[in-house]
Each structure stands twice: as C-alpha cells, then as structure tokens.
Amino acid sequence: MTTRHEHEHEDPSVHSFILAGRETVFGYHLAMFGMAEHRYQVVLKYDLPTDIIELYLKDRAQHPNSWHAVRNTQDMVLPPIGDGAVTEYPARLDRVTQTGNGEDRVWEPLSEGFTARIERVLNFRRFNDSEGFPPHLTYLIYGEGNEAHIAHRLVKRPHYEQIITLTRTPDGITPADLANAVELTIPAVPDDGHNGQPWTTRPLPQRTYDALLHHKPGTAPEPITLDLTDERWWNITTLNI
C-alpha cells in the first residue's frame, strides 16, 4: 500500500469524500490524475457526529439524485491519512449535484464545521503511470454487515470514477473482505484501455453481474453475484484532467 511519493511536490488542498452507507458511513476520495495532491484512490470508514449522520440521511432521502460529501475546511495533504498519522480533521457536509458525466457540479454546504474522524483506512493507493489497464472491469468492494458498495479501481487516464451500492452483501464476501476493500473483476466487460478514449456511458447497464472475488493474492478467485442498485457517483471529467 503506497502512501508517499518521494519525487513530486504536493500542495495542501481541499479533498472531497463521497459518502455511501446508512448504518455505517464510508467516504471515497474524488481523485484527479493530473494533480499530485489528488493522485490517490482512498476509501475510508468514518466515525461522524450523530447530528451530521442524521442530516446526511435526511437530506439524502429528500434529494435522491444528489450525492453527499465530507470536505475538509483546512487545506491538507493525504499521505498522513494513509500513514495513520492523521485520524481526524475539520470538515463540513456538502450536497453535490451534477449533470451528465460531471460537466457541471453544484456544491452546497449543509452543515457548520465538525470533526470528521477516521475509524479505518480501507484502501490507500497512489497512482502509478507504469501500471497497465486490467483486462476486465475491476472494482473495490467495501462496506459492513449487509451494506456493500463497489468503486471502480482507478489506474490512469482515460478512466472513470463510479460508486455503486449493492442490494445486499453478496454470498461469499467475508467481513474481512469488506473491511479491506478487496478487488473483484467482472469478466464480461473489458477494461483494457477503452481504445484510449474515455468512457462516456456507464459500463454496467444491467442490474446483475457475475464477478470474481480476489480475497488475496495467490488464492483462487471466488465466483460471486453482484446485484446493483443505487449509483453513488459517476465522473470522467475532473478525474482525467
């Protein structure tokens, strides 16, 4: 798990984490390939104040076509989160509404400042331009209990961000798998560079897909079934800058 890059300066910046989950709230970092401070794929388990969770759930129910994000209110860099040196930071809750593939976005603050506490870092990986595209769609699966979400595993331009909540945690997934955001692949759909062009449409139009779960390197993948429901985020624009 890479947390530092020794040869590229990173300026403190604002980082938004798209939220998923009701019983347990997780955050997914919005990445940007073209900015050193945002060249990370990060998934966190949050421990947010009760009133912030209540506000998030209420506003989510009232605005089902928008998303919600935790956004830091003091500029910061991400490596100390990956290292475990930073476990909380000052933040606010935003409602995010976007059109199309992210061409236009409106960020609306919903809360006063609060402390965003990080209970667990599930995934923290800096992008490596030498890494090749996988042959098939690859996602990280994370969550807790019977709530599970998948996020597209990012590699390099041109790629896409997508978070999808599942109807339930698939059979064969262990609590440890969810807690470590293990990878799964969808053999029916290639992800081998997309002919050098960005994805402009969602690559998973169906509700059910066969997938292979990769518990850990060196073990045989386990067949599972993904039942998709809410898409929590989709983006090809700022990611590929």
Say if residues 155 and 212 touch (Cβ distance below 8 Å).
no
pLDDT tens sequence across 191-226: 999 999 989 999 999 999 999 999 877 789 999 999
pLDDT tens sequence across 75-99: 999 999 999 999 999 999 999 999 8
Helix (H) or strand (E) holding 229: strand 222-235
Question: How, if at all, do strands 222-235 and 208-214 pair?
Answer: antiparallel
Distance CA 199, CA 14 (A): 26
In a domain, 126, yes or no: yes
Cα→Cα distances 187→132, 148, 231, Å: 17, 20, 20
212 or 101, which is more confident = 212
Cα→Cα distances 26→6, 129, 179, Å: 29, 27, 11
In a domain, 5, yes or no: no
Half-sphere exposure of 64 (CA within 13 A, CB side): 3
In a domain, 9, yes or no: no
User: Buried (b) or exposed (e) across 3-34, using 16+ Cβ within 10 A?
Assistant: beeeeeebeeeebbbbbbbeebbbbbbbbbbe
- Helix H segments across 102-213? 175-179
Q: How many CB atoms lie within 10 A of CB 169?
A: 20
What's the confidence (pLDDT) of residue 67?
A: 96
Distance CA 58, CA 240 (A): 32
What's the confidence (pLDDT) of residue 218?
A: 78
CA 78, 83, 84: angle at the middle one, nearest 5?
Answer: 100
Q: 4 falls in which pLDDT band (50, 70, 90)?
A: very low
In a domain, 226, yes or no: yes
Distance CA 152, CA 148 (A): 14
In a domain, 58, yes or no: yes
- Helix H segments across 67-203? 79-83, 175-179
In a domain, 44, yes or no: yes
Q: Which of 8-17, 84-93, 146-155 has the lowest mean pLDDT?
A: 8-17
In a domain, 3, yes or no: no
Helix (H) or strand (E) holding 81: helix 79-83
Provide the domain limits for residue 68: 16-240
Count the domains in the chain.
1
Residue 167's SS3 state is coil
Residue 200's SS3 state is coil
What's the confidence (pLDDT) of residue 219?
A: 83
